[in-house]
Amino acid sequence: MGKAMTKSQIAAHLASKFELKKKDAVGILEEIANLAYREAKNSFTLPGIGKLVLVDRKARIGRNPATGAQINIPAKTVVKFRVAKAAKEAVLSQK
């Protein structure tokens, strides 16, 4: 398995693919990220890739792995990423 692409590698690829300045490609990536952060509460979809959604987790009882003691874990809201069906099929068919 290879290494993940860095932000600058992604920006360089986009810049060469669409004949942009690298600075503009970085700006586009940053704006997409900022838009996703702002809109996550309403669910943010990147078509063909997936969706950011907020999920409410219930309070539950957990266990401290070191001592075995029971602990109360409070309810909280978490961010989840749901991968789109098209992305799953595209990635899994590359094997």
Residue-wise pLDDT for 17-37, tens only, equals: 999 999 999 999 999 999 999
Give the confidence band of 82 by pLDDT, cuts at 50, 70, 90. Answer: very high
- Is pLDDT of 94 > 80? no
Looking at residue 2, what is its pLDDT? 81
Name the pTM for this structure.
0.77
Q: What is the CATH number of domain 43-95?
A: 4.10.520.10
- Is pLDDT of 95 > 70? no
Q: How far, in Å, are 4, 45, 68, 76, 88 from residue 58 at the CA level?
A: 33, 25, 21, 7, 28
Residue-wise pLDDT for 51-66, tens only, equals: 999 999 999 999 999 9
Q: Average model confidence (pLDDT) for the chain?
A: 94
Concatenate the DSSP letters of all residues of 39-84 into one string. Answer: HGGG-EEETTTEEEEEEEEPPEEEE-TTT--EEEE--EEEEEEEEP
Domain ranges of the chain: 1-37, 43-95
